[in-house]
Amino acid sequence: MIVVTGGAGFIGSNLIKALNDAGETDILIVDRLGSSEKWRNLIDLKFNDYEHKDNFISKAEKGFYNDTVRAVVHLGACSSTTELNADYLMDNNFEYSKRLVHVFAAKAGLRFIYASSAATYGDGSCGYSDEHAVSPILRPLNMYGYSKQLFDLWAMQTGFIKHSVGLKYFNVFGPNEYHKADMRSVAIRAYFQAKKTGKVRLFKSYRKQYADGEQLRDFIYVKDAVRITMFFLENSDTYGIFNVGTGRPSSFNELAYAVFSAMKMTPNIEYIEMPEGLEKRYQYYTCADTSKLVTAGFNYKLQELEDSVKDYIQEYLEKDSRSETD
């Protein structure tokens, strides 16, 4: 079977949907649901079983899954960039990942794919290359990014990366992100702002070279992020760390205009001050270097931002009952 940790989460649930569409249902979901609405992401999915993350790792270390797992997609993590409990992030994101590796790394033919993050790139001063030589010089801006970088470095130092794939997801947006609260994408937040107030609020710029709302991000639709993830599941002879982005930066203004267009509304943007202190650690530009991904053989044409936002809003948000109460 295929194990998907974080399978009830944003990217994980979309990945399982793609696996189901490809005829794959022999799946074990590993997650921690807690009191959030994340369980709703499971309703339409087909899978064999569900395990709490703590029960799963305990069973795995006792050899319970030795002969039943053919692939592990490790997406489970605390993904909050504002989480201040460094011990929790070290235990949940770094130590748990190492424990998974120790259980499954020696299994012949097993595919191991894990989620890294574009947060490892920090302020972008070292660029956005996913070449392994760059990783040691990166300086993440938050503890979440650092926990992800630590595992990348550990995977390289131990040689594990020669037998696995680490995926640095950029600014992913799309269906099944309701439960992410403050970590939800700008796309869904802009949708609700426009729906409630008729306008979208964006941060002002504090750099002369960027006009208000012209700060740039590599926004990637979750369906495209999943396509890239599926590519590595299907091509088991490819290893290493890879960026998961479009390679095409877009401004927050462009994103807001795409939201208004999908909602058939006249654009109305208000530029607001950043929270105190944020301007000193704010990223003005992110863009995935996708050359390594292309060299690996991925040649699928990713969606344009406006088309992605339109699909997200018209096919999901407008049809979801939660949009009436959010």
Annotated active-site positions, please? 144, 180
By CB neighbour count within 10 A (0-12 exposed, 13-18 middle, 19+ buried), where does 187 fall?
Answer: buried
Question: How far is residue 322's CA from residue 326's CA, in Å, rounded to a whole number?
Answer: 6
Please give the Cα distance from 44 to 273 (Å, whole number). 41
The Cα–Cα gap between 290 and 296 comes to 10
Q: Which of 120, 145, 142 is nearest to 130 (CA)?
A: 120
Let me know: does 90 contact 47? Beta carbons within 8 Å: no
Contact yes or no for 170/245 (Cβ under 8 A): yes
Nearest to 220 by CA among 144, 300, 303: 303
Backbone angles phi, psi at 220, to 5 degrees: -130, 130
